């Protein structure tokens, strides 16, 4: 336990660097975290196989557990599967755990996946929350995903929706809730952003391309003086595009 604590302390020192790197990449990062067997890997497959999304096969530099997606509104996100948390960690898993913590700390949003049918679900939630706190990930936006809904009796489901009103309930077996989860990711990402009105001179086509790559384009018009854009932008894009912001008529 002491050595795990030491590992965790070292990791938390790295988190600022990781967040910086994440912001520089510009793409919204979602990490699937949770207790072992909750269904994280199954959810990654269910979401990426979802009809409303397309899987970008061109992103070859990503490792096998990270997939790039395009949400229905056009936003690019990456979705990373991580190793499951457990109460007592065998030494052999520490390395795998370490890379998982790196992934989680680099994320813009954590999907905390819970096996809602497990009688120990509450204790598992506590374990996961404790680890997230220990690694300094408590400030990262989080959505609770109660998976394996198909195994719940209607009354168990009712009781859980009352105790966890903000959770998204999913089943990778029936695919129930998968599209709701995708919508929720989009909603949280939007809420972390700003809307900007930009007038970009025609000499700065690079900035128009940048906006198209990194922002959601709400409106685009061609004026005498340049391209008038209304965009929804994340913090990094706001910093880069702010110089072109203008007041709309």
Ligand X SMILES: Nc1nc2c(ncn2[C@@H]2O[C@H](COP(=O)(O)OP(=O)(O)OP(=O)(O)O)[C@@H](O)[C@H]2O)c(=O)[nH]1
Distance of CA 177 to the CA centre of its chain: 17
Please say which residue, 78 or 147, places its beta carbon nearer to ligand X: 147
With binding defined as CB under 6 A, does residue 172 bind ligand X?
yes
Binding-site size for ligand X (CB under 6 A) equals: 16
With binding defined as CB under 6 A, does residue 152 bind ligand X?
no
With binding defined as CB under 5 A, does residue 41 bind Mg ion?
yes
Residue 99: CB minimum distance to ligand X, A: 13
Q: Please, which residues have CB within 8 angstroms of residue 172's CB and are 6 or more apart in sequence?
A: 39, 42, 43, 45, 46, 147, 148, 178
According to DSSP, the residues that pair with 141 across neighbouring strands are 109
Q: Taking the C-alpha atoms of 108, 71, 48 and 163 in order, what is their torsion angle to the nearest 10 degrees? A: 60
Q: Are 128 and 113 in contact (CB under 8 A)?
A: no
| Residue 100 interaction partner, one of ligand X, Mg ion, none, beta carbon < 5-8 Å per kind | none
Residue 216: CB minimum distance to ligand X, A: 30
| Residue 148 interaction partner, one of Mg ion, ligand X, none, beta carbon < 5-8 Å per kind | ligand X
Which residues, numbered 27-46, are part of the site for ligand X (CB under 6 A)?
Answer: 34, 36-42
With binding defined as CB under 6 A, does residue 151 bind ligand X?
yes
Which runs of consecutive H residues, i.e. helices, occur in the chain? 2-25, 40-48, 94-105, 121-134, 154-163, 178-191, 205-214, 235-241
Residue 172: CB minimum distance to ligand X, A: 4
Distance of CA 21 to the CA centre of its chain: 15
Distance, in Å, from the CA atom of 234 to the CA atom of 193, rounded to the nearest integer, reads 5
With binding defined as CB under 6 A, does residue 148 bind ligand X?
yes
Please say which residue, 35 or 244, places its beta carbon nearer to Mg ion: 35
Which residues, numbered 71-130, are part of the site for ligand X (CB under 6 A)?
Answer: 84
- Residues of this chain that bind Mg ion (CB under 5 A): 40-41
């Amino acid at each position: 336990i002491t050595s795990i604590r030491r590992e965790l302390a070292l990791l938390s020192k790295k988190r600022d660097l990781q967040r910086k790197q994440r912001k520089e990449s510009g793409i919204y990062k979602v990490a699937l975290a949770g207790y072992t067997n909750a269904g994280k890997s199954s959810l990654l497959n269910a979401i990426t196989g979802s009809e409303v999304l397309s899987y970008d096969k061109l992103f070859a530099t990503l490792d096998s557990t990270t997939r790039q997606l395009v949400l229905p509104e056009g936003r690019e996100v990456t979705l990373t599967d991580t190793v499951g948390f457990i109460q007592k960690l065998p030494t052999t898993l520490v390395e795998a755990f370490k890379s998982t913590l790196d992934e989680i700390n680099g994320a813009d949003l954590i999907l905390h996946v819970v096996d809602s049918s497990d009688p120990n679900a509450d204790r598992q939630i506590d374990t996961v929350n404790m680890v997230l706190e220990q690694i300094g990930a408590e400030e990262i936006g989080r959505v609770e995903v109660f998976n394996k809904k198909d195994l719940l009796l209607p009354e168990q489901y009712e009781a859980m929706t009352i105790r966890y009103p903000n959770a998204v309930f999913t089943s990778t077996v029936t695919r129930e809730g998968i599209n709701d989860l995708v919508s929720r990711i989009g909603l949280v990402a939007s809420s972390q952003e700003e809307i900007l009105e930009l007038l970009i001179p025609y000499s700065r086509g690079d900035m128009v391309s940048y906006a198209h790559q990194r922002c959601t384009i709400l409106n685009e018009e061609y004026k005498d003086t340049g391209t008038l854009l209304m965009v929804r932008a994340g913090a990094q894009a706001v910093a880069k595009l702010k110089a072109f912001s203008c007041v709309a008529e």
